[in-house]
Amino acid sequence: MDGLLPEEATERLVATCRTTVGDNLRSVTYFTRTDFQQVYLRDDLERDADLMDFIGIERQDFNTTADAYGGSELGDYRYTLRVFENGYLVRVGGENTAVFVTTDGVELRDFDALAHALSSTLSEWES
């Protein structure tokens, strides 16, 4: 799907991710409650992932997490990190708009920096 974000916004998302995780970046997908746009997919990866399933899981998990941990001593939700055999998925954002980024192996501090940079970008767009 194309056109959910203006070209300038897609370029900014990709640049933000590339600056933080470099060549370890696999993909970037922006999504809302009703739509999604894969804004980046590394050339060596297959284009057959069922993104709607990923997005459905991330939406459901966000709502469950927000309900379960809201108001706890842990503080506010920041991001979700999922670890897989061949890489990682980082989900940043809220209920209405979010981004998930997949990467090859990177350091934990890089995920934190990535989440902070993406959160700042999403916050600017929602203002």
The CATH number of whichever domain residue 55 belongs to comes to 3.30.450.30
Counting residues of the chain whose pLDDT is more than 70, the rounded percentage is 98
Q: What are the two backbone dihedrals, phi and then psi, of residue 101, each rounded to the nearest 5 degrees?
A: -125, 135
What does the pLDDT look like over 51-66, one tens digit per residue?
Answer: 888 888 888 888 888 8
Residue 67 lies inside a defined structural domain of this protein: yes
Residue 47 lies inside a defined structural domain of this protein: yes
Domain that holds residue 48: 19-102+117-126
Residue 1 lies inside a defined structural domain of this protein: no
Residue 23 lies inside a defined structural domain of this protein: yes
Residue 98 lies inside a defined structural domain of this protein: yes
Residue 56 lies inside a defined structural domain of this protein: yes
* Total number of domains constituting the chain: 1
What does the pLDDT look like over 8-40, one tens digit per residue?
Answer: 999 999 999 999 999 999 999 999 888 899 999
